[in-house]
Structure 1
């Protein structure tokens, strides 16, 4: 397994992280998967044997059940792995059971520690920007949790460019801990991340951790031109975090055509090729891979240990390229003012 430094910190993380959204399967996550404790433990052993030692969860996944299953599955192994979890989204009907307030984050962190059966969280994410809470309140609460030893590092997820930049500026102003990681959606199918968030990550040394790198399974090799969508896939089950209305299926099929060619050339699977392309992009530190079966996990682990050639990368770049929105297309008209970082 390749390890990469999480930009802006001294923490090294594996190029692949196991996402545990499939653990549990309740409270709105029925379509994601129903992995129980025994199977979760076997998957974690498979990951550790392959050198994958980082596991990603969130309090909202199956209303805490994912964290509970992960906690049981890693019993007696805590010192061998890194745990990332998230807080912010609603955990109940009480108005204070959600958001990025000091009140909720303190309570959410304590509950996550209890469910996970650990005394610290290695990487704690704000799951989404909370415009109802002052950014200063959020960052000071997180800094206090770090000072208390309950959190080692902090990250954010699904922020816009200005939200992340404002947060980094406030951390710098007051000398508080800063976000070292941004967990985002990014794939060959949707490359919006490149327009602003990737340049921001390069400039500010914020590492990128990618969720749904296979576009909720659409880039896994089962979605093809003139073929019916798989009835047992995440999209059909209602477990796709990537909405169907942002997907152009004609574009997807064009990308899969190239993935098929490269899979044949490399002897790898379509999914492995799609994941390998992402691992060569700037700021990418780790991809959160999911698996509902041990075989699926074994396949995804095969995305590392080899590299697409520059020519093969260019073919995927061309097949997946989209028109940029304003002002980015306007910036491209003045390449002399661009650093051309990627």
Structure 2
């Protein structure tokens, strides 16, 4: 497993991170979740990503239990705050009250004294940036948070946040956007804003909600139990996957599968390797519902794709790639 610096910070992260959105506390039982986490550790993954809202807070609890006994200094543990975690008026957003309470709750569920990277899961237009970053600043001073990140913020939001972070001496070092061969909306604006501010990209869904896994065949039913099936995943996830569950897109993806085999890779390995070719990427987050998926996908670490293959991928996917920066978030 290769490691990279997170933006301009001194923090090293594994270039493939393990995330537990949808899976832990929902799609798989706890023993399977523990096996996946241990497989990640065995393959050299040190960066683990979750959020308080995942599986209604259960995902954090499962991850905390799975990592119990692991040397804390040897891993990077990341979580997020913003989405509702309760029915109260203050159980959501980026107010000082919610950030403080949510952080303490996450620390308890994760069974840890500190969070390596604490993300603002979305931008909160109802709360001033100053209130939000003052809360982050206090958590950093208290040693409960080491670094701060944002997820699915626009370039302008990131620029404004970074200016305030500098003023308050908050180490804002990470952006967590969606990014894949098919979804490239960060390239036009977000990447450039982050490079100016020394912020690295830790991207989610490098397999485009599983579309680039090869499991969805053209003109065939969605496999039962898959993340895009009606019986699995959240409505939000299904909406994301649904935008690509079209015959013409799946036919193009099948061509990528042939290209991957020629390179001695699986399609998921090719998709993850493609993401990691981009110099603005610090890490790509993978999920898994069984340990074998972790073991297979981490083989993308260290793979180099030549320029000809990168051009061929663009040619195959031409017409299906989303690049509109307005769709950030």
Distance of aligned partners of 1:68 and 1:139 in 2 relative to their CA distance in 1, 3 Å threshold? same
Aligned partner of residue 61 in structure 2, secondary structure: helix
RMSD: 2.0
Higher mean displacement: 275-284 or 43-52:
43-52
Aligned counterpart in structure 1 of residue 263 of structure 2, from 260, 263, 266: 266
Gaps of 5+ in 1: 26-32, 328-342
Instruction: Tell me which of 227, 231, 234 is aligned to 2:220.
Output: 227
Q: Map 1:291-310; keep pairs closer than 5 Å.
A: 291-310=288-307
Offset from partner CA, 1:8-40 (integer Å, 9 cap, x none): 210010011110121101xxxxxxx1230x333
Q: Which residue number corresponds to residue 254 of structure 2?
A: 257
For residue 207 of structure 1, the aligned residue among 200, 214, 227 is 200
Displacement of 1:171 in angstroms is: 1.9
> For residues 276 and 156 of structure 1, what CA distance do their matches in structure 2 show?
24
The answer (yes or no) to whether the contact 1:258–1:315 under 8 Å persists in 2 is no
**Unmatched segments (≥5 aa) in structure 2:** none
> Does the CA-based 8 Å contact 1:67-1:115 persist in structure 2?
yes
Out of 50, 64, 75, the residue aligned to residue 43 of structure 2 is 50
The answer on 1:153 being equivalent to 2:151 is no
Counting only pairs closer than 5 Å after superposition, residues 6-21 of structure 1 correspond to structure 2 as: 6-21=6-21
Offset, 1:165:
1.2
User: 1-side partners of 2:325 and 2:25: how far apart?
Assistant: 42
Residue 60 (structure 1) shift: 0.6
State the secondary structure of the residue aligned to 1:99.
coil
- 1:239 pairs with 2:233: yes
Larger RCO (CA within 8 A; separation ≥ 6): 2
1:63 to 27, 50, 56: 56
Shift of 1:299: 1.7
Q: Is the aligned partner of 1:75 residue 2:76?
A: no
TM-score where L is the length of structure 2: 0.91
1:158–1:326 CA distance, 2 compared to 1 (3 A): closer
- The 8 Å contact of residues 184 and 209 in structure 1, kept in 2 or not, is answered as yes
Following the alignment from structure 1 to structure 2, what is the Cα–Cα distance between the partners of residues 17 and 154?
A: 17
Give the distance between the partners of 1:251 and 1:204, measured in 2 at CA.
39
Q: CA 1:325/1:295 → structure 2, altered by over 3 Å: closer, same or farther?
A: closer
Encode CA deviations 1:47-94: one digit per residue, 9 max, x unaligned.
222110111111111221111111111111133211000111111111
CA contact (8 A) 2:214 2:254 kept: no
In structure 2, how many angstroms separate the alpha carbons of the residues matched to 1:39 and 1:300? 17
Matched residue SS, 2:159? helix
In the other structure, the counterpart of 2:128 is: 134
Question: Which position in structure 2 is the counterpart of 1:340?
Answer: none
Tell me what 2:272 maps to.
Answer: 275
Partners in 1 of 2:92 and 2:288 — Cα distance? 28
CA shift, 1:179, in A, is: 2.0
